[in-house]
Structures are given as C-alpha cells and as structure tokens.
Structure 1
Amino acid sequence: MDTNEKQTQQKTREPSVWPTLCATDAPALIDFLVDTIGFTRTAVYEDDGVVAHAQLDWPEGGGIMLGSHRPGHDWTLPPGSAGLYVVTSQVDALYERVKAADVKIFRDIQDQPYGSREFSLEDPEGNKWSFGTYPGEPAA
C-alpha cells in the first residue's frame, strides 16, 4: 500500500475513539454543543433530565458521548475535566459564530507553527475545547 492509499484509508475509516464527558447539566451542555458549536444530536437517552447516554456527531467526522454526572455510578468523570481537539475546515466561520454567541474564548484564533489555524474555548461545564485545521499526521 503506497502513502496515498494509506492517507485515503485513514481519512475514510469510521471513528473508533469516542471521548466521553459527564456534565452537571447534561441537557444544557448538549444544547450548547449542538446549537452553538455545531455538533449533531444523534442519540439522547434521558429520563427526567438525567442523561444516561448521548451521542453527538461532528459534521466533519467523529463525535463525542456524554451523560449526566452521577456520583457513585461506576462510569463517571468530574464535570469540566476534559480537554478536546476537534478538526474543522471551517475554523474561521466557527470562531466568528462562537465569538458572536459570547462564548468564553481563552485563546483567540491564530496560526500555529505546526500548520494549524485554531482557537480554544471553554464550555459551560468548564471543559476546554480547541478547534483547528490540523488533522493529525498520517499513520505510518
């Protein structure tokens, strides 16, 4: 398999790593990520405001899973403790949209020495998100 075939294979494979988040107010975080950031609400299993499982897909590929923070539950993480990087070819438009929505941006949009154009924000739960054009290096 030559380099171009490997790159094509890497670009077309289905996501197999799904970052997960827990939130104090999972319905509100889902609304923020869908309405403000641009994720797609793919599945939400909720009962009386408690989200057991949600899948939000990123339109350009991949996605996240999240649920309500439930202390003592066997799978729970502290809300606001995640850091995520999301690849987008529309970084400037996204930056302008979140800036207009008065989202807390802690690193303004800028070009990086490794070839990415990116910015970073904090969601309402305190998670850190970077959005940029850097798609990662192709697998060897």
Structure 2
Amino acid sequence: MKVYPLVRYRDCAAAVDFLTAAFGFETHEVSKNDEGVVDHAELRAGDDIIMLGQGVPGGPGVYVAVADADAHHDRARAAGARITMELTDQPYGSREYAAADPEDNFWFFGTYRP
C-alpha cells in the first residue's frame, strides 16, 4: 500500500496557485472536469505527492492506494465502515471508494498511484 494525504478545497485551482507560490510545492498533475473546473490536482513535495480535491472542506483525508479496491471495499463494509462513496470507476483509470471511520475522518481507497 501507498498513502497520500488529501485536502479538499472549494476552489482547487486557487489552492494550487497558493500552495505552489507560498510553500514551494511543484505541480505534478492537474485534472479539470467537463466544465473546465480543476477538480483534482497533485502537488509534489520532494519525492512525495499531496492530492487536492474540489469540494466542501471537511478536514483532511487520506488516500490509500490498494491492489484490489473491490476486496478492500467489501472488507471495510463488513467491519462496519460507513461508506461515503460507493465503488466508482474514475475517468483517470482508478477504481475507488470512500469511507468514514467512527470519528468521521475521511478515508479514500483506490487503485490510482500517482
């Protein structure tokens, strides 16, 4: 498994501009939706990646790359995890889902590896 921090922003494009200018992160990838809005970005911090997502900020989350998202999803559900996004095939090739733990921390699991 590989773990990536994930932060959500109301304006992901503005966040990319700020984080690169203020903290020196380097843009690794920026994805736009059909309306041209940046809905996902990856910033490089040395050899590490920080992922940004468009959405209502609710505290940071963690993205974990797994080999088999379906099996991982089934295990999480069986253990009582609250699934907040069902398994989805993403346009960038990942199969992923999201869940909240008992303290409402957000966890995202999928096959994507930046």
Query: Normalized against structure 1, the TM-score is what?
Result: 0.39
User: Larger C-alpha radius of gyration, 1 or 2?
Assistant: 1
Structure showing greater relative contact order (alpha-carbon pairs closer than 8 Å, 6 or more residues apart): 2
Higher strand share: 2
Query: Normalized against structure 2, the TM-score is what?
Result: 0.48
